[in-house]
Chains A and B, each alone.
Chain A
C-alpha cells in the first residue's frame, strides 16, 4: 500500500528537506513549462509526484477536483507522477468541440483519435472519461498515457519514471487535438461542399470563436517580420557549433515551432554530425548534443535523435550543413490536406505516391526512424530540389549551408504561409457552402 501522506520519521531532516525541495523543483519546472507554452494557466494545473511521500505544485484544489482525489490515484496505480490541468484557450474550446464533433464512433470506447504522426506512433488515441473520479482516472490511464476529462474539460496524464513523461503526454495531447480539430474542420467544410449541405451554424460559430483566440489583437494574419539574428556562421570551432545549436534550440521553443519542446537539429562540422539527443528538450540542449563521426567509427550516437539517419542522408546528398526539424501546427495540418480519391487512403503517412507541395514546399510521407517506410527514404530526396520539406502529419525539415538563420526563417515563413493558406481555403469554402 502506498502511503498517501506523511512518512516514517527517519533520516536526517536536512536531507529530507533537500529531497523535498528537489522534488518540488522538478514538478514546478514542468508546471512552468505548461504556462510558458500557453498550454495551461498556473492556477489550473495540479501536478503531483511521489517518491515516498506525495509532492504537489500547489495546496489548492481546482473547483471540480481536489488534490486529495488525485492523491488517491497513486494508491491505484504504480506510477510516480500525475498531471491534471485545464488546457488554456483555444485548446479548451478545441477539446470541447472535439467532444461534440470529433469522438470515435466505437460504441464501447469513447476516444479522440488524432491522425498525426506522434499520436499514431506513441499515443495511439486519447480516451475520454466523463468525470475526474480517481477510479476512472486510474482505469483509463492503465491503458493510455493521457485522457480527456469532460468535467472541467481537462487533460490528465502520468509518468512512471519522471514528471517529464506526464508533461510530454499532456503537451502532445494538446498538440494532436489542435491538429485534429483544424484538419477535421477543413474536411467537414469540404464534405458540406461536396454534398451541397449547409454547414451547422453552431459548429461554424464555434470555429470562429476558436479562431478569434488565435488572433486576439488583429482581425487577420500579418507577417511576423524579421527576427533578431541567430549566431552567424560558418562556425570557427566545435564550441561555436554547440553555442549555435543551444541558441537555435531555445528559439524553436520560444517561437512555439515544436511540440512538447521536442524536435531535433544538427550541424555538420569537421567530419562530425553534432545532433540533439533523443528526448532532448530543445530549450535545454546544454550537455544533450552528440558529436557523431560521419564515418560511423563510434556508436556514441546511439543516444542521438531518432532522425539521425535522415540528417546524415541530407548531409550526404546536399551541400547543407545545418538542419532544423520542428512540428509547426499549421504545416502539419496542411500536409494532411488532400482530397484526391486514392486507394492508399489511410496509409498516406507512409505510402503516399503523389508528388505534393504545400505553399511551394514538398510534402513527403515517412514514419519516424529507419524502417522500410521511414522518412530516411523520403526526406533527403526532397532536399535535392528544396531547402525544406514537410513530412506528412509530422513536421518540417529546413536546411542551409552557413548557419541556422536561414533554416529558422524558412520554418517560420512556411508555417505562416501554411496558416494563411489554411484560412484562405476555409474562407473560400465558407463562401461556397453559404450559398447551399
Chain B
C-alpha cells in the first residue's frame, strides 16, 4: 500500500525492548493516520494514569508525509494529558514525521517507564535505547546542540523532567507539541529525547495526479489573502492576527477581564518584523513558511503566545515577550498555559507583573521553584488550591487561547465541545467568524452554529489525521486533498468519506473521555463570560454571552452529535458507523 510504510515501531521502556509490527491496514482505512491513528491505538489504555507504565505516547505520521502534497509533513503526538486528563493530541510541524517515514515507519509507540533517563535513536532500521548520560538536567537548546542537527529531534526540557503539567515536547528546536503536557508524559517515562534519521523514499501511486492536485492547492493558496496576501501568514506569521483580533475587540486582556488592549500594536506582526528583521522559515515541505526568525536567530512568538504574554498580562514590551517565548521553548513549556497561569496568579495576587517579573515567573515554573511549583500545576489546580476557581480561564483544565469567546459565538461553543479542553484548533471557527473563509458568518449569533461547529470539528479531525496544516484550509478544501490522498494511496476517498473518518475519530475521543468520567459538567466556559461585558464603543458592542442561548445551542449540538443529554458517548454509539 503506497502512502504508508506498512511498518511501525513499539518500544517498551520498562524492559528496554522494541519490536516492529505491521501497521494495520484497517487502521489506515478507517482512521487515515496521525491523530486518528493515535486515538484509535490509545483506546485500550486510556483509563490508566498518564504516568502509568501502560500509558503509551504515540508519534504518528500520515499518508501524505514525505510526498509533495503541500503542508503535509506534520506529525501527531497522542497520549493522556497530565493537565486535562482527557485523551490529547498535538499536531506538530518540523521534520520529525518525514524522517520517521523515510526511516521506514508510520508510527512510533512508546510505553513503559525507564529506570534511568534515556534517549531513543532511530537511523533507518537501526533502533537503540541509549543512556541519556549528560543530557538530563539540560534545557532544550543545550540538548539539541549535543544531539546535533542531522535528522530530527524531539526533546523535553527541565519542565518535562520535573513534571510540569503543561510541559511541551520540542521538535527540531522550535516546533512544539505544545499543549496538554505531553512533555510531562515523556518525562514520566524518563525519556529525554528521540533522534531520528531516514534515507528511504515514500512511494506514491500516481505521481502525475499528485502533481496536479498540488498545483490546484498551490493556486488556491496564492489566491488566499489570509495565507499569501500582503498581510497574511506567509508574510507576518500567525502574529498577523494581532491587529485583526484587536480591531474586532476580542483580544483577551488582563486574564480576560477586558477584551481590548490599547498597546497591542507594539507587538504586532509588523512591529516584530520591523524590530527583528524577520525571515521566513517553516516545516518540511511547506510553501507557506509561517515561522518567523529574527536576524540574530530569535524565534518569533506565535499569535497566541504574543497575545497572552502581551495583552493577557497587560504587557506591551515586545522584547520581554520574545524572551518569554524563548524561555518557554527552552524549558519546554506550553506558552499559552504558562502565560495564562501567570495571568491567573496576577489577578489572584492583585498585582500586574512587570516584564522582568513575568520572565522570572516563567523560569520559576520551569524549575518548579517557589511559587512556580504551585503554578506548574496549571491555572485550574492553582486557582482551586487558593479557593478562587473562577479565576482560571480554562475549559476542562486547558487554558483558553487568544480569542475572547464573547467576540465569536462559534468559538465559544467550540471551546467547550473540544475533546481536549479549551482549544481554538478543533473546530477553528476563526476561519469563518473572523477570517471570512470559506464564507463569513455572523460572529455574534448562535444560529446554525451547533451544526457548523460539528462539521468543522469533523473536518479538522481528518485534517489532523492526514497530518496536513490547518492554515492551508484557509484556501484549499478537502476536495483538493481528497485528490492528493487518492494519488498517493490509490484509494478512492471523496470529501464525505474523509469527513466520516474525522467524525469516527471524534466520537472515539468523546467516548474515551466518557470512560474517564467527562460529561456535560465539563463542557462549560468560565462564568466570567456569561456575567461580564467585553469592550464596547460606538462601532461594536461586546455583551456577555447569554447563558440560555449558549446552553440551548449546546443541547442542540449534543443531539446533532448523537450524545446523550449528559454529553456522553457509549461504546455502542461510538462504533455505530
Contact = CB atoms under 8 A, between A and B. Distances in A.
Interface of A: 1-3, 7-8, 10-12, 15-16, 19, 22-23, 26, 49-52, 76-80, 120-122, 124, 138-139, 142-145, 159-162, 164-165, 168, 277-280, 288, 292, 296-306, 308-309, 312, 367-371, 374
A50 B26 CA distance: 32
A309 B559 contact: no
Nearest to B269: A299
A302 B232 contact: yes
A106 to B, nearest CB: 14
B437 A279 contact: yes
Contacts of A303: 225-226, 244, 434-436
Interface residues of B, number: 64
B298 to A, nearest CB: 20
A52 B449 CA distance: 10
Given A10-B555, A121-B223, A279-B440, A302 B240 contact: yes
B496 interface: yes
B224 A298 contact: no
Given A26-B447, A168-B439, A309-B229, A122 B220 contact: yes
A51 B270 contact: no
Contacts of A2: 560
B199 interface: no
Given A15-B548, A306-B225, A161 B452 contact: yes
Interface string B431-444: 01011111111000
9 contacts: A52-B450, A78-B499, A80-B452, A138-B496, A143-B479, A161-B456, A298-B231, A299-B235, A303-B226
Given A279-B437, A299-B270, A78 B455 contact: yes
Interface of B: 216, 218-220, 222-226, 228-232, 235-236, 240-244, 247, 265, 268-270, 432, 434-441, 445-448, 450-452, 455-456, 458-459, 479, 482, 494-497, 499-500, 503, 548-549, 552, 555-556, 559-560, 562, 576
A296 B270 contact: yes
A388 B376 CA distance: 62
Contacts, number: 186
A306 B223 contact: yes
A12 B452 CA distance: 21
A10 B552 CA distance: 9
B448 A369 contact: no
B436 A277 contact: yes
B219 A51 contact: no
A51 B451 contact: yes
For B222, B268, B435, B552, the residue with the greatest tally of chain A CB atoms inside 10 Å of its CB is B222
B437 A299 contact: no
B222 A299 contact: no
Given A144-B479, A305-B225, 12 more contacts: A10-B555, A11-B555, A12-B552, A26-B447, A52-B450, A278-B437, A298-B231, A299-B235, A303-B434, A368-B219, A369-B223, A370-B229
Nearest to A20: B447
Contact of B496 (A77, A370, A374): A77
A327 B498 CA distance: 34
Contacts of B447: 19, 22-23, 26, 51
A204 B552 CA distance: 59
A279 B439 contact: yes
Contacts of B495: 142-143
Contacts of B459: 160
For A3, A52, A144, the residue with the greatest tally of chain B CB atoms inside 10 Å of its CB is A52
Contacts of B240: 299, 302
Contacts of B494: 139, 142-143
A369 B222 contact: yes
Nearest to A50: B451
A371 B436 contact: no
Contact of B549 (A15, A144, A280): A15
Nearest to A2: B560
B244 A300 contact: yes
Contact of B219 (A121, A145, A280, A288): A121
A3 B561 CA distance: 10
Given A26-B448, A298-B243, A279 B436 contact: yes
Interface pairs A-B: 8 shortest CB-CB? A371-B222, A299-B231, A368-B223, A142-B494, A369-B223, A142-B496, A369-B222, A302-B231
Contacts of B268: 298-299
B435 A124 contact: no
A296 B269 CA distance: 10
B559 A367 contact: no
A312 B268 CA distance: 21
Contacts of A371: 218-219, 222, 228
B497 A142 contact: yes
